[in-house]
Structure 1
Amino acid sequence: MISGFEFRDWLLANDPALSRLRMGTRVTLSILLSFTILLLIHMLIVPLPTASYGLGIVLSIEGGVAVRDKGSASQLITRLLGCLASLVVVGIAAALESQRVLSDFIFLVVIFLASSARVYGPRGFAIGMFAFTSYFLGSYFHPTIGELPVVLIGPVVSALVSHWVRAVLLPDNWRRDLLRSLESVRGRINQILFKLAALAADGKVDEADRQELRQLEDRLKEVVLMAESFIPRPPGGVFDGASAPAAELAIRLFDAHLATESAIVLSYQSPPSFVLVHAVIEDDKAVLSAQEKAVADMEGQPQGETARALLWLGAARRQLVETIDTGRRTDFAEIASVEEVSTPTAVDFSLKNPVMRSALQITLAAAIAMTLGLALSRERWFWAVLASFLVFSNTNSRGDTAIKALQRSIGTLFGIAFGLVLASLLSHQMGIAIAVSIVCVFLAFYFLQISYATMTFFISIVLCLIYGMMGVLTFDLLKLRLEETLIGAVAGTLVAFLVLPARTRGALDTALAKWFDTLKELLSAVSDKKSQPELILISQKVDACYRDITLAARPLGSTWSIVTRPGQIRQTLAIFLSVTYWSRVLARNHTADAVDDDLKRRIAADIGMLDTVAPRGSECFLIIRKQIRPTGRHLPLWREGARLAVEMIGSTLERLYPTETQDLPFAAGKAIAPVNQE
């Protein structure tokens, strides 16, 4: 039997800070409470048309997903503005109900304006989503002008309920989220230690083990970035004397991440002893003290370097545990909150802005989907438009759009198939059907952040159950929904590829340019003897830029692509991962006193190499490299770490455009090559 603590640990391991759990719960509660209040109004005060319920339910979803402002006051303003937008567009839809052609044209105008509103940031995005979904539902449910006053009760109720759920019932709390994310960091470090213990028992590391460690390391990186985002920073982003507790926490988190990476890297070349790994897991101070003395006799040996890395990880993990315990006792009271300082950005309505190009694409895709959808069904064509609109959400390139269109189609297909069976089984069990629908709504938005296909799958099941409870569920209706969804998905994909395409390589070039610039900023800061907090902040930016590179490169190796190069993609990403790792080593080990003419010369050489390779952008992902050869020499990580990091950054960058004799100094899963010697 699973205990409460084990279940909580499992949740944190799979959902750092419980953010997905909170989103799923918020959306589900908002829908339930809004529907209940509307039903009470219907029964006790005034009858409500179906459109009021539809708007209340759908805008409850948008209120939980699309509203992303910082602070409850800003969120309330956004929701109220969204209600105003809903009022306007539903009124227009009702007024044009008798003029279908004009109404359809105005729908396209609303789609363009809703998409263009994203230039105003999170608030514009949310209001645009409110406007789009409201016109969609207004055209779908056909409310009359006379019904508008009661129809608009739905959006108002949903806005107020969604705000209450998020601001009062399940509020944002950075202290709580920070504690949970730190617990997740500890849990993922423990997973890595357990894996290292298994490798130590076997005494060898094969390719499958390396792959598993890479995956565990990626999961650790993900939650470390999340934890860092919860630590309040001064407006400039760099910690000062007034923010000492927060700075200490950030350093401890940074150390835990870097120590874990170093333990993994060095274990590739020389697996650690089981006794040492077990002592680190159990925090056995007596054994660890004895191991520290033994390491002194292994100076310059691979086993010694691995042991040093494990001892460092043990110390960093111990400090992390102390921080978590302190956070539980004090709720991080010693860390002062920092008010968000919003920096106004210029609004750009030109086609140079990707948002405006995307708005044109969305509108054209919606027009195509509308035309083909109408040819298929006069009543259900809205599904095609909905699909064409949503496949562009949160995408950066045409490859991303194609992947999302495929995910939506697959999720709809399997959701309809499963939902049809489920609705048939529960056709006379309304209570159970309602309960299952509620669970599916929760699961849909619980998985939204990690799998769009899964979200679509559960939403399709909910629709099947609703149709079943309404007595209108037929195979032809579900077949029509699938066909309309495919029309919208295909329309979106074709437009993404043919009209003002945001090429995958273009998005990748942008991500790479940011990474190169940030790495150059770090090297320059080291040469200029900047403080360690400044260097760590910049190295964290390098890490974030690497994450953007992995996201931008994802479509290059996707299985939907006609030509895939997964081997080349992985090799190239390993190079960027290596340099990102060494940038953290550089930031952590650098001291201003160590900057001499020799180090400045090496840094200048690295910057010169960056200036050479950066203009070539994503061309490096097309390079066919020979198989990386493992080497036997270990890495002296503990000697002059900053100087070594500068050397390794340069020699690793050379691998982007290799000659026949070059080897990659460090690729995930391979041994570490010799340091360049003069």
Structure 2
Amino acid sequence: MKQFIYRSYWLRRLLASDPGRKRLNQAGKATISLISSVFTTTLILNLLGFEPLLPSIISGIAGLMGIMVVMDDTKEKKQVTTLLLALSAGCGVTLGSLLAWNAILVSALMIAIIFSAFYFSRYGSRYFSLGMIGFFTVYFSSFLKLSPAQFPLFYLAIAIGIIYAFLYNFVIFKDSVQLLKRSMRSFHRQANLTFQLLIEIIKDPETSESRVRKLEYNVRKLREYANNVSTDLSAQDIKGIWPGLTAKQLKLYVFDTAMFVMTLADSLQKLKKDDALEMAELRKLLVQVISTLQAAEVLDQDYKEKNLAEAEYVIRSLQDFINDLFNKQPSQPEGWLYLLRRIEAIAAHVTEGALLIQYSLQAIDIPDADLEDEAEEDEEDEKEDKGLKPTTKKAIQSLIAGTIAIIVGYLISPIQPYWVLLTTFIVQLGTETVGRTYLKGLERSVGTLIGAVIGFILASLVSGHSTLEVILLFAVIFLAFYLLTVSYTIMSLFITMLIAFMYDLILGGISIELLGARVIDTIAGGAIALGVSAFIYPTKTMDKVSEAFTDYLNELESYVNQYIQSLKRPTGVKDLAGLAFELDGKIQTIEDESKPVLQGPGARKYSGLPRWITIFTAINYYAKHLVASSYQKNFYYPKEVSSVFLSVEEKFTHNIQVLTKMIETDEWAGTMYDLQEEREKIERFAPDYQENQGDLVHHLYYIWKINQSLLMMGEHMGVDKRK
């Protein structure tokens, strides 16, 4: 079976997708919770002799939202929030029903809930979760116009839904431990998949464009998986799965493996271009290194020790081969030799990390200071916002948008006036900038339009076949939440299909006019959310993009300075792997915040933005190499070099500050340094790598590359440079 999986690219691609099966896990739990809630409520109410349809719908909503809307940062907080959802839902049913006689009161209640959800979220996500379920239960109960005599049935239905959500979230499916284990398995599958592509490219004399594109895609996926694993890591989870390991060990191993793949992928084309891969011995050694790492089952208790031992042997052979090449060109080694040196260094890191993990799993004591488990605490000082807090701004926006939405809703559809408000509320969720609001409103409108057409056709075809309709209803719910993070448009499509099936079940039929009204309501709601975000305390998209750029630069300054300082310490630089993952996350933030600009109507106006993103991505690649390509501890350097470190730190910090100020103010902020003088001193006075005293030229190479990229940005902004 393993051989079959190993040979099939698409099967390996499928198994590696959805790292940790997070989407499957979340969507599956939500759907199972909904199904369990609906059928249990239906069964109990049938036994008691009551009509079960409407309470079952509310029960399903409670079971679904008990999974999807709980977003607290600890398990204990999540448990409390889940139980409190029952109270909020009960209040929503009660108030929505009691006020159903007066549309103005119901409207005021809904707007008050939305305002409170946004405003009080400053104190924690719990308040937002409670507001969401409160809003939806008010919406449904005001539509159903329940009598007080029906309240106990709906309270029971809500209790059943929340109990199932609690059971599935915290008792039956214990996410944290198994999720991390599955994330690591997905990471290894993706790494091995990419290793195989690298082997094929090395062996192939002529590399096809399709294979290169496939490799680039898989390298990007591996980067995503590495970031996923880094996010999921926590000391408690590790101890539960792999006793003896620390979070730092695993994080470093994942980082080095991902960087080894990225470095190889970037280097192979250069090596081929320089005819370096014409050497059969080099091709053989590179393939052997990759193959041995591919075969190593690092986190398996029954791993084959010979694989890592063989990897060590092959890497030493590669190191000797590279040293021979350097010795043949002592005066001016060719550039591709340094690429080989970096490949060998990172391969050695991966093997060393894998061996240390295996020693730890087998409870073998290794006297290495790097194995000390240090608590990693995020000590980010929150900056006090001048003026209104973002949550207050969003609350005020929701208040104004909600009022407009209610008025527009009554003008469009007096019978169903709240759908515009519902859409406005949903579009405002998670959309801090005008651009994001525009993009989300557009995606929701397009998804709703397509979903209405497909939903009407399917609902018409299966109308009268209740069992089939219920099965399809549950299927589209699962698909909607499974694809939520993949495509908001597709998610909206499935949600609209869900509404079509529900209308057919509840009303006994579906009409194109009814679904058409929902499409119009959705477009109106998205337009209202966009209009309010653009004129009431607007946050411009480019302001947010600029903030993401400066945030990255500030983190980069700290990271590079810590790297330089680490060259003076005996422990080396490997403690910085966690910070490298944080930089990766900030690059992702830049890409996310830039998406509305690049895909929106103002793309031409900001035509230089893609170039900036490319430069920042390159800087991030160089920054990660500072750690990944480092292979030396206990550096020795003469006094002439010691003073250079301080100068590099000062000038690098100055360059970052100049760029940051110019991005923030769009005003000239001074000149920048090219660090050429410092580089020449390092290359003149640093010990040679053959002296076993630390190859400083190698270890500082990417600092020069980072600074060159910063100068490129500065030149684009009109900044002069000096030595």
TM-score (norm 1): 0.83
Q: 1:577 aligns with which of 617, 626, 632?
A: 617
Once the two structures are superposed, what CA deviation does each residue of 1:570-624 show, in whole Å capped at 9, x if it has no partner? 321121122222222334537574682112212221111001001122799xxxx
The code of the aligned residue for 1:507 comes to K
3-state SS of the aligned residue for 2:175?
A: coil
Alignment match, 2:503: 467
Q: Which moved more, 1:609-618 or 1:591-600?
A: 591-600
Residue identity opposite 2:647 in structure 1 = R
1:94-113 matches, cutoff 5 A? 94-113=97-116
- Structure 1 SS opposite 2:715: coil
Distance 1:350 1:38, change over 3 A: farther
In 2, Cα distance between the equivalents of 1:397 and 1:533? 37
Q: Which amino acid letter does the alignment assign opposite residue 648 of structure 2?
A: R
| 1:244-643 correspondence runs (5 A) | 245-271=246-272, 273=277, 275-276=284-285, 278-283=287-292, 291-299=318-326, 300-312=333-345, 314-315=347-348, 352-470=388-506, 471-529=508-566, 532=573, 534-558=575-599, 560-564=600-604, 568-588=608-628, 589=630, 591=633, 593=635, 596-617=642-663, 640-643=697-700
Q: 1:469 to 1:93 in 2, by over 3 A?
A: closer
TM-superposed CA distance for 1:86, in Å, is: 2.2
Query: Which one-letter code corresponds to 1:579 in the other structure?
Result: I
Most deviating of 340-349 and 402-411 = 340-349
State the AA in 1 paired with 2:545.
L
* 1:345 positional shift: 10
- 2:18 matched to 1:15? yes
| Counterpart code for 2:492 | T
Gaps of at least 5 residues in structure 2 are 237-242, 278-282, 293-309, 327-332, 364-370, 667-688
| Partner residue of 2:225 out of 220, 223, 226 | 223
The C-alpha deviation readout for 1:496-516, integer Å capped at 9, x for no partner, is 222211111221222223212
- Cα distance between partner residues in 1 of 2:633 and 2:703: 13
Distance 2:609 2:382 in 1: 36
Higher relative contact order (CA 8 A, sep 6+): 1
Structure 2 distance, partners of 1:145, 1:328, is: 61
Q: Structure 2 CA distance, aligned partners of 1:65 and 1:561?
A: 33
The residue type equivalent to 2:538 in the other structure is P
Q: Which among 113, 121, 130 is matched to residue 127 of structure 1?
A: 130
Structure 1 residue 431: Cα displacement: 2.6
Kindly indicate whether residue 706 of structure 2 is the aligned counterpart of residue 649 of structure 1: yes
CA distance 1:591–1:343, change in 2 (3 Å): closer
Rounded Cα–Cα distance in structure 2 between residues aligned with 1:455 and 1:493: 20
- How many Å apart are 1:275 and its aligned residue? 4.2
Name the residue aligned to 2:302: none
Residues 303-347 of structure 1, C-alpha deviations (whole Å, 9 max, x = no match): 4344444445555565677789899999xxxx9999999999999
Output the CA distance in 2 between the equivalents of 1:294 and 1:72. 52
Q: Which residue of 1 aligns with 2:670?
A: none
Which residue matches 1:627?
Answer: none
Three-state SS of the structure 1 residue aligned to 2:130 is helix
Deviation at 1:228, TM superposition (A): 1.2
Question: What SS is found at the alignment partner of 2:428?
Answer: coil
Displacement, 1:677? Answer: 13
**What is the one-letter code of the residue matched to 1:187?**
R
Given that residues 96 and 103 in structure 1 are in contact (C-alpha distance below 8 angstroms), is that contact kept between their aligned partners in structure 2? yes
Match of 1:31 among 22, 34, 47: 34
- Once the two structures are TM-superposed, the CA of residue 218 in structure 1 deviates from its matched residue by 2.8
* 8 Å contact kept, 2:42–2:53: no
Partner of residue 75, structure 1: 78
Is the contact made by 1:521 and 1:538 (CA closer than 8 Å) also made in structure 2? no
Distance 1:87 1:414 in 2: 34
Code of the residue aligned with 1:613 in structure 2: it is L
Shift of 1:167: 0.9
Partners in 1 of 2:616 and 2:246 — Cα distance? 32
Contact 1:366–1:488 (CA under 8 A) maintained in structure 2: no
For 1:604, the aligned partner's letter is E
Distance 1:403 1:432, change over 3 A: same
Aligned-residue offset at 1:159: 1.1
Q: Give the Å deviation of 1:33.
A: 0.7
User: Match of 1:270, SS?
Assistant: helix
1:534: how far off?
4.5
Superposed CA offset, 1:272-324 (max 9, x none) = 74545543443285876654443333333344344444445555565677789
Task: Flag the 1:406–1:364 CA change in 2: closer, same or farther, 3 A.
Answer: same
Deviation at 1:455, TM superposition (A): 1.4
Aligned-pair identity in percent equals 20
Report deviation, 1:377: 1.1
Shift of 1:192: 3.3
Whether the 8 Å CA contact 1:351–1:357 is kept in 2: the answer is no
Contact 1:186–1:321 (CA under 8 A) maintained in structure 2: no
Instruction: Name the CA distance, whole Å, in 1 between partners of 2:469 and 2:90.
Output: 32
Q: Tell me by how many angstroms 1:16 deviates.
A: 0.4
Q: Structure 1 residues 540 and 519, CA, compared in 2 at 3 Å: closer, same or farther?
A: same
**CA separation of 1:379 and 1:535: change in aligned 2, threshold 3 A:** same
Distance 1:74 1:428 in 2: 44
Aligned to 2:329: none
User: Is 1:177–2:186 an aligned residue pair?
Assistant: no
Q: Aligned letter for 1:251?
A: L
Residues 232 and 337 in structure 1, CA contact (< 8 A), matched pair in contact too: no
Give distance in 1, aligned partners of 2:558 and 2:260: 24
Q: TM-score scaled by structure 2?
A: 0.79
- Offset, 1:371: 1.4
Q: Which amino acid aligns with 1:69?
A: D
Q: Is the 8 A contact 1:586 1:645 kept in 2?
A: yes
Q: Is the 8 A contact 1:90 1:134 kept in 2?
A: yes
| Letter paired with 1:270 | L
Q: Do residues 146 (structure 1) and 149 (structure 2) align?
A: yes
Change (3 A) 1:40 1:324: farther
Structure 1 letter corresponding to 2:133: F
